[in-house]
Structure 1
Amino acid sequence: MSMSTVDAPMGRGDRTSRWVPRGDRPAWARAIALAVIVSAGVALAGCSRKEPQPEPVRAVKLLTVGAAPLHAQLEYSAEVRARVESRLGFRVPGKIVERQAELGQHVKAGQLLAQLDARDYQLSAQAAQAQVNAARTQRDLAAADVQRYSKLKEQSFISGAELERREASLKAAQASLDQAQAQLASQGNQASYTRLVADVSGVVTGIDAEPGQVVAAGTPVVRIAQDGPRDAVFSVPEDKVAQLRTGQEVTVRPWAEGAPLKGTVREVAASADPVTRTFLVKVAIEGAQVPPLGATVYVEPGALGREGIQALTLPTTALRQEGGQTAVWVYDAASGSVRSQVVRIATADGNQAVIADGLQPGMQVVATGVHVLSPGQKVTVYQPRSASPQETAAPGASAASAN
């Protein structure tokens, strides 16, 4: 049995020690000793350094880079519009008192669309009619004078100069009458211009003014898409407009339902839009079942197709972003590791990215799981469980071919 010593008083200024069995120690002393031992163990454990965990060796799927034909076809979203769309307005200013046309309504030539307040023009026409009546009275009076003076001249009661003056007065009165009649016709036209009628048959596609609004002469009030041919209108970027020519055939596919239609490039804008910097292209739609106005269609220009062009492509799962650039992991069969390779993307071919620069045919790149790898990391080539002996014997071969 282990022993311990304790001090016991013997007399004034004298102390002595005696051995006490450990089992007879107080409970608080045993707790303190245990705490000291635990603290020392924790301190020793904290001072020791753990060994780092080895980096796991990941299995990756590889793709062999190779050239293959592209299959994607460029298509553009277009809107069906009328070949001719008119913006109709009044030829005289005034206040709109009535509008008969409604949005989407089909109107015929000569049908009333809107009307202005015509009271002022009617009063002007009445004033012009009064001037015509006055001028006609003056002309009739001058004609009567000429007839009377002609008889006096035959009887030699007046000179020839006097008759000539009467004839001149008649001509002046006739000219005044002609002027008044012309003014009456003009005022009559002004009154008729207060009625806005459709000059062609078509569909109302827009309303730009409402009753109670005062409009100036020529202000558009109603827009009408004339009946007749339809165009598919879309925009192309400036790097594609040079490939489009008037007369080229295109395929027009309705967005909702219906069989594809044939189309012909009818017009290519000569200048770019100042806002979007794109060029407007109009395609004449041919066929009996032409989509309605405003419908969305897809236009596939044959001149912009990439069918059969050889290019290098990769799936999007093989791409990653590195410092603002697109990169892939290239597999090094000699060292069994991967390295980062920056690539440049030209365009898209369906779900594939077309590689313009950075890779060469025959390289092996990681197809999936690119975000869990690091430069120089050791990897193994993933082999399916049902792999054939030929596939197992060639670990560097790709599981699939990237075009």
Structure 2
Amino acid sequence: MAGTRGTLWIAGAALVLLLALAISGCGDGAPDVIPPRPVLVAQPQPAAGVARSFPGEIRAREESPLAFRVGGKLVRREVDVGDRVAQGALLAVIDPGDFQAQARAAEARLSAAEAQLRRAAADRARYAALADGQLVSRSTLDAQEAAWRAADGEVRAARAQVEVARNQAGYAELRAPSDGVIASRQAEAGQVVAAGQAVFTLAGDGGREVAIALPESAVADYAVGQGVEVELWTAPGARLRGRFREISPSADPDTRTYAARVALDDADAARVALGQSAKVHAAREGSALSVPLSAVQRGDDGAASAWVFDDGRVRAVAIGTGDFGAERVPVTAGLDPDDWVVIAGGHLLQEGQEVAAVDRHNRPVTPGAAHAR
């Protein structure tokens, strides 16, 4: 037993010594580095009862009907619906025979006019020499000068006709004005098309937006520039950020609805495909926002506030609230739709404290970034 107690005493002494060394090693005078506190953030949502949803379709911001500048028989089509094209790519060709013949005729008229100009120039030079020797009258010399000027004008006109004819021959080829995707086709090879008749529709790469229709009863509730949320049918629950880019001032005579376009943020535009179905969630302009109950902080005086994440830190913002609901509370003042509000961990925060913010999908959040909610 004595040996056992001695062994235990030695083991205990060794443990105490190790703890002492560990404590002494940590006490080097350097301050402990406190990592940023993780917090969960979200953006305010429209208060219940003031938001509406409208079905729509993903469209290109720039949709250009492409047509030949001259008419003729379509002899070749180089692209089909869904093909991606680069600026200047050949799309279709119409029969250039007539335009090439017109160009040759214009070039022949130019050659004849240049021959007349050379003859008129030679006659003017001869008559000028005779006039110097007073062998012809001044009026005869003036007539030769006028003939030369007329021939020179004919040459200039013929050159312009050649340029027009060559342009007409060049217009027999339809080329892409910008990068994009062929969204639709309205003509086939062998068809005779008129000048200006649409052959393709090009969806440009300049951005993506949602085309929706607003009913008469709701069009006055929304304005250009107002923020909305877009939910794709293929990704329910994930919401993208957008804004009303345009709202038609007049109703469609058939449907009595107002066409509207919702532009997606550039960061979200790459996540959508042309033709996708989508739903636009839009709150009435000027309507209240709402936040989860956990986002509201109460001070000693009973005033309500919320922690807003900004530039890597949090700041307390006084807010006005409405009647508390089961899960959310309306916010009547103090917050903007683009604010990132702390909805978990706020009771442990201090003013100006550095935090590591993540959204509901556990993705890091940076102020001003677009995230699906």
Give SS of 2:118's match: helix
Residue 81 of structure 2 is matched in structure 1 by 103
Give SS of 2:262's match: strand
Aligned equivalents of 1:73, 1:164: Cα separation in 2:
85
Aligned equivalents of 2:114, 2:226: Cα separation in 1:
66
Residue 261 of structure 1 is matched in structure 2 by 240
One-letter amino acid matched to 2:66: L
Cα–Cα, structure 1 residues 71 and 180, in superposed 2: closer, same or farther, change >3 Å?
closer
Give SS of 1:276's match: coil
Q: How does 1:11-160 map to 2 (within 5 A)?
A: 73-160=51-138
Number of residue-to-residue matches in the alignment: 241
Q: Which has the larger radius of gyration?
A: 1
Give SS of 1:231's match: strand
Aligned equivalents of 2:190, 2:78: Cα separation in 1:
14
Query: What TM-score comes out, normalization by structure 1 length?
Result: 0.57
One-letter amino acid matched to 1:274: P
Residue 258 of structure 2 is matched in structure 1 by 279
CA contact (8 A) 1:107 1:201 kept: yes
Deviations 1:15-58 (A, max 9, x none): xxxxxxxxxxxxxxxxxxxxxxxxxxxxxxxxxxxxxxxxxxxx
Residue 273 of structure 2 is matched in structure 1 by 292
**Per-residue deviation at 1:234?**
1.0
C-alpha RMSD of the superposition: 2.2
1:186 counterpart = 2:164: yes
Give SS of 1:242's match: helix
Residue 220 of structure 1 is matched in structure 2 by 198
Aligned equivalents of 1:137, 1:257: Cα separation in 2:
74
Aligned equivalents of 1:184, 1:223: Cα separation in 2:
32
One-letter amino acid matched to 2:158: A
List runs of 5+ in structure 2 lacking aligned partners. Answer: 1-46, 291-373
Aligned equivalents of 2:49, 2:145: Cα separation in 1:
92
Aligned equivalents of 2:178, 2:205: Cα separation in 1:
8
CA contact (8 A) 1:240 1:304 kept: no
**Per-residue deviation at 1:71?**
6.3
Which moved further from structure 2: 93-102 or 260-269? 260-269
Aligned equivalents of 2:61, 2:49: Cα separation in 1:
33
**Per-residue deviation at 1:177?**
1.1
Aligned equivalents of 2:100, 2:178: Cα separation in 1:
27
**Per-residue deviation at 1:113?**
0.6
Q: How does 1:189-338 map to 2 (within 5 A)?
A: 189-257=167-235, 259-290=238-269, 291-303=272-284
Cα–Cα, structure 1 residues 300 and 153, in superposed 2: closer, same or farther, change >3 Å?
same
CA contact (8 A) 1:74 1:304 kept: no
Cα–Cα, structure 1 residues 71 and 123, in superposed 2: closer, same or farther, change >3 Å?
closer
Aligned equivalents of 2:168, 2:289: Cα separation in 1:
66
One-letter amino acid matched to 2:73: K
List runs of 5+ in structure 1 lacking aligned partners. Answer: 1-68, 310-403
One-letter amino acid matched to 1:84: E
One-letter amino acid matched to 2:87: A
Give SS of 2:82's match: coil
One-letter amino acid matched to 1:79: E
Cα–Cα, structure 1 residues 223 and 70, in superposed 2: closer, same or farther, change >3 Å?
closer
Aligned equivalents of 2:243, 2:250: Cα separation in 1:
20
CA contact (8 A) 1:71 1:306 kept: no
Aligned equivalents of 1:205, 1:236: Cα separation in 2:
24
Cα–Cα, structure 1 residues 71 and 144, in superposed 2: closer, same or farther, change >3 Å?
closer
Cα–Cα, structure 1 residues 308 and 265, in superposed 2: closer, same or farther, change >3 Å?
closer
Give SS of 2:279's match: strand
Cα–Cα, structure 1 residues 308 and 249, in superposed 2: closer, same or farther, change >3 Å?
closer
One-letter amino acid matched to 1:282: R
CA contact (8 A) 2:51 2:284 kept: no
Aligned equivalents of 2:223, 2:105: Cα separation in 1:
60
CA contact (8 A) 1:73 1:305 kept: no
**Per-residue deviation at 1:281?**
1.8
Cα–Cα, structure 1 residues 188 and 287, in superposed 2: closer, same or farther, change >3 Å?
closer
**Per-residue deviation at 1:236?**
2.3
Q: Percent identity?
A: 40
Which moved further from structure 2: 148-157 or 201-210? 148-157
Aligned equivalents of 1:172, 1:133: Cα separation in 2:
15
CA contact (8 A) 1:261 1:287 kept: no
Aligned equivalents of 1:244, 1:91: Cα separation in 2:
40
Give SS of 1:114's match: strand
